[in-house]
Structure 1
Amino acid sequence: MDKKPEERIFAIANGTIVADAPALGTSHDLRAGRRAARLPPLNLFRVFDAAARHGNFTTAAEELCVTQSAVSQQIRQLEELLEVRLFRRMPRRVELTREGTALASAVGESMALLLRACERIADPKAPVILCVNAPPSIASRWLVPRLKRFMQLNPQFKVTLLASNDPVDFDRQDIDVAIRWGQGNWPNARIELLAPDRLFPVCSPALLREGPPLLVPSDISRHTLLQVVNGSFWGAWFGAAGAGGMAFEETLYFNDAGLMLDAAVQGQGVALASRLLAESDLKAGRLVRPFDLEVETGAGFHVLTSPDFSEKPAVAEFRRWISLEGRESA
């Protein structure tokens, strides 16, 4: 039995022959496909909603603070895009067609949803979400223990804390406040020093009891040195202590200052730490300071905010609060 040639369906769309298009059997279907593929500009629906509610283009124009001609033109544009007639034009008023009535119901519901959403956002009694971004080390060791106090003082603010060392771009990231360590040269940001970076050695009490004694700064060379990979200030500290040019038996490197301090707590060696990062461990007795000498690094932790939104009430209050906390710790 001969096999019939495969049947193929052709349709013409915008002057182009389209093969294998069974869903485009009629010109009406083609128009429906085009309509579904693109949503008209949303401002046209705003104009349509006003005209549908008032049943009059002139009254709609007064509500929207535009001319009657502008309303008429935008309604015509919407009708052309949808390829349906939305209004019957009467001498002194307009009436919705069947298609217009169906669209008016959906548009009215959508506008009401948008209005309620805007009211919730603008409600001064509604909780304000504040997004804070900080490196993992200072986020976990210094900021987290304090956030509860901030929210108790400001119950209208809710804080979302993100831990990251990534570069900050307030124009592209949904961040209100960032904390970063450095020398204060970040572009496109309002920068305020949280605390200067004065470093001093720390170690676990067990290391002092069980390891080689730490009587003078040069004794540190007999222990494992703990430091971060992106730079160390041990040389500056030993120089200030008058013990420069020493060789060390062993050094462990970490990509995060918090991990370095965890290693120090576990007795794996001696680390250089700032007061902000080591504060909780020092208070709890997990770390001790074998020497009081501190060295300035010229850097420190800074609070970064967007220049455009740094005076926004929630951001301004957080800036004020964290500045006080930083001064108390330093």
Structure 2
Amino acid sequence: MRLPRLTGPVLSGLHCFLIAADQMSFTRAAEILCLTQSAVSHKIKNLEESLGVKLFIRQPRKLTLTDEGRRLKEVLALNFGDIANELRDLRTLELSGDLNVSVPPTFAQRWLLPRLSSFMDKYPALRFHLRTRNELVDFHTESFDCAIYFGNGKYTGLHVVKLMDESMVPVCSHEYAEQHGLYGNPAKLMSCMLLHDAAPWARAGKNDEWQYWAQQNGVVLPESGCTFDRSDLALQAAERGIGVAIGRASFIAEQLQSGRLVTPFTLSVPSPQNYYLVCRKEMATSPRVKAFIDWLGEVQ
């Protein structure tokens, strides 16, 4: 069997031969390939001429493979099967592994998890691994593909993509606002229990979020308060009438709509920190990371 050049007609003939050899019928092969029986016969005849060997013994109402035909069928069945699998999986080939993501706890619970099923539905072969933390990732020593930060966007040596802006406003239960005369009167905060997220962003102080809001609005705050290591815990405490928390717009829409939280005064301010996706620069072109970034942009 001489080795032909793998031109288009030869490759087409090889595929046609494999189907015919599998079906042992030119007629059934023609049906599968949406060709006429004579077109299948012609392709295989041309292939035989290109190879310089007979592949089929043609008998009335019967086909038999020659020894060369059997050898070629075995090789083609193995390799065409591999090619078919590769072509089927090509689009998601690099999306079938692991995606390790670090996310701030409250962002994960309040924003990401309610939307995450659509990402998993879109990339079912991708194994998504979520870890929550407020601290920054050390990409040199930790095996995260990317991370979402609530911060200022200045992360030296990393690829940074801004995801969305944030804003802040005090929130509490309706009953607490009524009891403390808060509606329309931010000065009454002096007599309230302030609920602090003690780690609103990396390296932040326990009072930084409240102090920033107060400075922007010229409001004096009491020095006492209750601190939590997660923003969602402060918000849950506010729902239960314990005090007043700083609510981020990305987290509180459902609670405001349901009435579990209220904004006693409309003094919302843009947050000094916003949401960014960060990764090592060489990971910015990773299909897994790029798919995650694109999805985050779609679901906002």
Normalised by the shorter chain, which TM-score bucket? 0.5 to 0.7
State whether structure 2 residue 141 is matched by structure 1 residue 172.
Answer: yes
Q: Quote the residue 1:300 is aligned against.
A: 274
Match of 2:245 among 271, 275, 290: 271
**Aligned AA (1:323):** G
What is the TM-score when the length of structure 2 is the normalising length?
0.61
> Which residue is equivalent to 2:108?
139
Q: What residue is the counterpart of 2:30 in the other structure?
A: none
Aligned partner (choices 247, 257, 260) of residue 286 of structure 1? 260
Question: Which residue matches 2:41?
Answer: none
Contact 2:170 2:246 (C-alpha < 8 Å) held by counterparts: yes
CA distance in 2, matches of 1:297, 1:200: 9
After superposition, the CA RMSD in angstroms is 2.7
How far apart, CA to CA, are the structure 1 residues paired with 2:225 and 2:231? 15
Separation in 1 of the partners of 2:97 and 2:183?
51
Structure 1 residue 238 corresponds to structure 2 residue 207: no
State the shift of 1:148 in Å: 0.7
**1:215 and 2:184 aligned:** yes
Q: Which runs of 4+ in 1 moved over 4 A?
A: none
Distance 1:235 1:264 in 2: 18
Larger radius of gyration: 1
Quote the Cα distance in structure 1 between the aligned partners of 2:147 and 2:240.
30
Alpha carbons 1:196, 1:298 under 8 Å: kept: no
Q: For residue 22 of structure 1, what is the aligned residue in structure 2?
A: none
Cα displacement (A) at 1:247: 5.0
Describe the SS at the equivalent of 2:281: coil
Alpha-carbon distance between aligned partners in 2 of 1:191 and 1:249, rounded to the nearest angstrom: 36
Distance in 2, matches of 1:317 and 1:309, equals 12
Distance in 1, Cα, partners of 2:215 & 2:272: 16
CA drift of 1:269 comes to 0.8
Any conservation in 2 of the 1:151–1:157 contact (CA below 8 Å)?
Answer: yes
The equivalent residue for 1:3 is: none
SS of the equivalent of 1:146 reads helix
Alignment partner, residue 199 of structure 1: 168
- Find the aligned partners of 2:255 and 2:147 in 1 and give their Cα distance: 24
Partner residue of 1:256 out of 227, 230, 243: 230
For normalisation by structure 1, the TM-score amounts to 0.55
Q: What amino acid sits opposite 2:225 in the alignment?
A: T
Structure 1 residues 186 and 209, CA gap change in structure 2 (3 angstroms): same
Deviation of 1:296 after TM superposition, in Å, equals 2.5
Post-superposition offset of 1:297? 3.5
2:106/2:230 contact within 8 Å kept: yes
CA deviation profile, 1:278-322 (whole Å, cap 9, x unmatched):
234334432222222222332212111221112211210110111
* Matched residues, number: 205
Q: Distance in 1 between matches of 2:157 and 2:186?
A: 42
Amino acid at match of 1:162: R
The 3-state SS of whatever aligns with 1:175 is coil
Residue 311 of structure 1 is matched in structure 2 by 285
Measured against aligned partners, the alpha-carbon deviations of 1:87-143 in whole angstroms (never above 9, x if no partner) come to xxxxxxxxxxxxxxxxxxxxxxxxxxxxxxxx9x99829833211111211111111
Matched residues in 2 for 1:207 and 1:257: separation? 19
Q: Percent identity?
A: 28
Alpha-carbon distance, 1:217 to partner: 1.7
Give the counterpart of 1:161 among 95, 110, 130. Answer: 130
Distance 1:212 1:293, change over 3 A: closer
- CA distance in 2 between counterparts of 1:262 and 1:235 reads 21
Q: What amino acid maps onto 2:276 in structure 1?
A: H
Contact kept in structure 2, 1:217 and 1:238, CA below 8 Å: no
Displacement after TM superposition at 1:201 (Å): 0.9
Query: 1:212 deviation in Å?
Result: 3.2
Higher relative contact order (Cα pairs below 8 Å, separated by 6+ residues): 2
The residue aligned with 2:120 is 151
Question: Any stretches of 5+ residues in structure 1 without a counterpart?
Answer: 1-118
Cα pair 1:223 1:249 within 8 Å, conserved: no
Partner of 1:19: none
Q: Give the CA deviation at 1:147.
A: 0.7
> Counterparts in 2 of 1:3-14, with a 5 A limit?
none
Partner of 1:128: 97
Q: Residue 222 of structure 1: CA displacement?
A: 2.4
The amino acid of 2:153's aligned partner reads G
State the 1:162 CA deviation. 0.7
Question: Does the aligned pair in 1 maintain the 2:239–2:260 contact within 8 Å?
Answer: yes
Residues 151, 283 of structure 1: CA spacing in aligned structure 2 closer, same or farther, 3 A cutoff? farther
